[in-house]
């Protein structure tokens, strides 16, 4: 942060921010959003002092939570704002806005995504979109272009596709789905805008992000035909694959894009063989495009990249592979007897693995042959198949229980335990079929005698603290080992 305040242009000589009184600066801050306030606080000390003042944060607090009063005395208003913001994102309340609803078909939801104020879910070959308004469903759409089970769903920014037309669409996303009917579809405005055909069997997976640079974005898919195929989403009219990569001997399980080079695609097949493809190579030959190979032990569970490393979750371990050499860098996690899910949070140097009856937090900075977890998050009598991780919380659930547990990412303490059954239901029911979490919102499928049941919760405007807030049960936490504490 600069000690010297920036100079202001004006008549009659140079002026600096020091010439403007704090009240005038605070008045100017009254027109700024919280992100702008935070950015200005990092520019120089005079602006930082104003940005941290109670008058600025009083206004931000009232705008965000108009029905809640700021407590007088310590801590300051800024600290109260940040504490409430964190508590809401950790779902530490008992009075969220709730919506229970049944879908069109009596089939459990297999995939769920949250796209701003919309819930997108897949049931068999169909997609349903529910527009949420406050505590009710405002609109419902049914999309039925696929002819067989949907196998994967992804959201991508519309500006990276040929459907982008003007700046008013910058916040819009398009939905991309793959199916056992051998097709991939791109959805927007309630209908299928593009249909990609070329696989000789069911399409099993889609890459987590688009490949390439702006204006020439490419989608990657993998299928039971053991091929990886590339499709143009940045140019209209091209419905057939740009390139087809051969080399895998088993159906594809996962695809991910390298973070240090967006032209590198990493694939893993059901026999746990990993390949790296350079999609910018001028040759269309699979042999020349494949720039690296390796293998791991156990059935694939997940595949994620960060910087030059690829993290492969398979069997009972998570292994980091250096994409520059294709050699094993280190073992990140050992979670026996079997892994069921895996998420990572590079900004806090943490990964989370889901197993039987518990999830484990690991510090990825620890280069150990026999790594030890930094926190143990218990989910009794369940298999942690559904896992979410963000800077505020870890959320876990499974197919054999109706409870979803929420823990603080920074401490491993239990923040809440959510009953996902219909209100008043007391029977022991089957567990989750799908789960999605975004910020203060969570939506779950299953946990009902009705297979198509969905439960939506929004914690963004809560007031009643959870009874578990001060309860540290539900986790085993080694404070000295957890990064950022």
Q: Distance between CA 376 and CA 353 in Å, rounded?
A: 10
Q: Distance between CA 444 and CA 257 in Å, rounded?
A: 28
| pLDDT tens, residue by residue, 79-100 | 888 999 999 999 999 999 999 8
How far CA 264 is from CA of 54, 225, 255, 314, in Å, comes to 48, 21, 11, 21
Residue-level pLDDT at 458: 95
Positive or negative, the CA dihedral 171, 172, 178, 179 is positive
Which residue from 318, 320, 323, 364 is spatially nearest to 339, judged by alpha carbons?
Answer: 318
Between 22-31, 46-55, 57-66, 120-129, the lowest mean confidence (pLDDT) is in: 22-31
- 162 has a pLDDT exceeding 80: no
Q: Distance between CA 176 and CA 186 in Å, rounded?
A: 5
The arithmetic mean of pLDDT across residues 185-203, rounded, is 93
- 355 has a pLDDT exceeding 70: yes
Most confident of 2-16, 35-49, 207-221, 352-366: 352-366
Please list the alpha-helical segments (H only) found in 30-187.
34-41, 45-51, 54-64, 77-89
pLDDT band with cut points at 50, 70 and 90 for residue 135: confident
pLDDT band with cut points at 50, 70 and 90 for residue 478: very low
| pLDDT tens, residue by residue, 274-310 | 999 999 876 666 667 899 999 999 999 999 999 999 9
Structural domains in the chain, sorted by start: 7-64 (no CATH), 97-481 (2.130.10.10)
| pLDDT tens, residue by residue, 253-283 | 999 999 999 899 999 999 999 999 999 876 6
Residue-level pLDDT at 11: 54
What percent of the chain has a predicted confidence (pLDDT) above 70?
87
User: Angle formed by the axes of helices 34-41 and 54-64, to 10°?
Assistant: 160
The arithmetic mean of pLDDT across residues 453-471, rounded, is 84
Contact 247, 237 (CB under 8 A): no
Cα 311 from chain centroid (whole Å):
16
Beta strands in 346-440 (DSSP E): 350-354, 356-363, 375-383, 386-389, 393-397, 403-408, 414-419, 432-438
Residues with Cβ within 8 Å of 23's Cβ and at least 6 positions away in sequence, in order, are none
Q: How far apart are the first and last CA of the chain?
A: 24
Most confident of 5-14, 76-85, 202-211: 202-211
pLDDT band with cut points at 50, 70 and 90 for residue 381: confident
Q: Distance between CA 114 and CA 95 in Å, rounded?
A: 20
User: Angle formed by the axes of helices 77-89 and 54-64, to 10°?
Assistant: 30
pLDDT band with cut points at 50, 70 and 90 for residue 178: very high
The number of CA neighbours under 13 Å toward the Cβ of 234 is 14
pLDDT band with cut points at 50, 70 and 90 for residue 480: very low
Residue-level pLDDT at 62: 86
> What is the pLDDT of the chain when averaged over all its residues?
86
Cα 91 from chain centroid (whole Å):
16
Residue-level pLDDT at 244: 94
Residue-level pLDDT at 96: 94
Residue-level pLDDT at 427: 73
pLDDT band with cut points at 50, 70 and 90 for residue 473: very low
Residue-level pLDDT at 479: 44
Residue with tokens 């895996």: 342
User: Angle formed by the axes of helices 54-64 and 22-29, to 10°?
Assistant: 20
pLDDT band with cut points at 50, 70 and 90 for residue 105: confident
The pair of three-digit structure tokens given for residue 19, joined into one six-digit string: 């010439």
Residue-level pLDDT at 12: 54
Q: What is the DSSP letter of 70?
A: P
Between 23-37, 60-74, 122-136, 255-269, the lowest mean confidence (pLDDT) is in: 23-37
- 174 has a pLDDT exceeding 80: yes
What percent of the chain has a predicted confidence (pLDDT) above 90?
56
pLDDT band with cut points at 50, 70 and 90 for residue 198: very high
Cα 248 from chain centroid (whole Å):
28
């Amino acid at each position: 942060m600069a000690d010297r305040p920036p100079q202001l242009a004006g008549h009659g000589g140079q002026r600096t921010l020091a010439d403007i009184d704090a009240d005038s600066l605070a008045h100017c801050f009254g027109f700024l959003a919280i992100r702008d306030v935070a950015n200005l606080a990092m520019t120089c000390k005079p602006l930082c002092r104003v940005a941290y003042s109670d008058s600025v944060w009083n206004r931000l607090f009232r705008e965000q939570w108009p029905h809640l009063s700021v407590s007088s005395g310590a801590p300051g208003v800024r600290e109260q704002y940040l504490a409430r913001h964190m508590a809401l994102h950790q779902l530490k309340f008992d009075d969220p806005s709730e919506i229970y609803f049944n879908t069109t078909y009596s089939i459990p939801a297999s995939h769920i995504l949250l796209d701003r104020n919309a819930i997108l879910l897949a049931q068999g070959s169909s997609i349903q979109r529910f527009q949420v308004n406050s505590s009710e469903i405002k609109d419902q759409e049914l999309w039925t272009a696929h002819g067989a089970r949907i196998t994967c769903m992804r959201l991508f920014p519309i500006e990276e596709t040929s459907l982008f037309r003007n700046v008013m669409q910058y916040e819009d996303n398009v939905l991309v789905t793959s199916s056992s009917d051998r097709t991939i579809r791109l959805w927007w405005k309630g209908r299928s805008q593009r249909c990609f055909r070329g696989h000789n069997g069911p399409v099993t997976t889609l890459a987590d992000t688009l490949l390439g640079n702006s204006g020439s974005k490419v989608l990657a898919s993998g299928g039971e035909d053991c091929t990886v195929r590339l499709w143009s989403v940045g140019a209209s009219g091209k419905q057939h694959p740009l390139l087809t990569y051969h080399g895998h001997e088993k159906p594809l399980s996962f695809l991910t894009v390298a973070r240090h080079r967006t032209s590198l695609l990493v694939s893993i097949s059901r026999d746990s063989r990993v390949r790296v493809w350079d999609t910018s190579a001028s040759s269309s030959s699979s042999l020349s495009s494949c720039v690296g190979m390796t293998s791991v032990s156990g059935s694939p569970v997940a595949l994620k990249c960060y910087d030059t490393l690829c993290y492969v979750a398979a069997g009972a371990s998570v292994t980091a592979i250096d994409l520059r050499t294709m050699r094993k860098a280190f073992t990140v996690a050992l979670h026996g007897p079997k892994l069921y899910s895996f998420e990572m949070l590079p900004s806090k140097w943490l990964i989370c693995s889901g197993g039987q009856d518990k999830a484990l937090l690991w510090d990825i900075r620890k280069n150990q042959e026999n790594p030890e977890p930094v926190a143990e998050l218990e989910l009794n009598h369940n298999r942690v198949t559904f896992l979410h991780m963000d800077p505020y919380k870890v959320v876990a659930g499974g197919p054999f229980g109706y409870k979803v547990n929420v823990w603080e990412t920074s401490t491993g303490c239990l923040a809440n335990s959510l009953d996902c059954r219909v209100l008043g239901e007391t029977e022991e029911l089957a567990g989750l079929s799908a789960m999605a979490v975004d910020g203060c919102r969570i939506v779950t499928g299953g946990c009902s005698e009705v297979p198509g049941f969905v439960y939506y919760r929004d914690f963004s405007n809560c007031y009643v603290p959870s009874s578990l807030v001060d309860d540290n049960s539900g986790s085993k936490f080694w404070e000295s080992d957890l990064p950022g504490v």
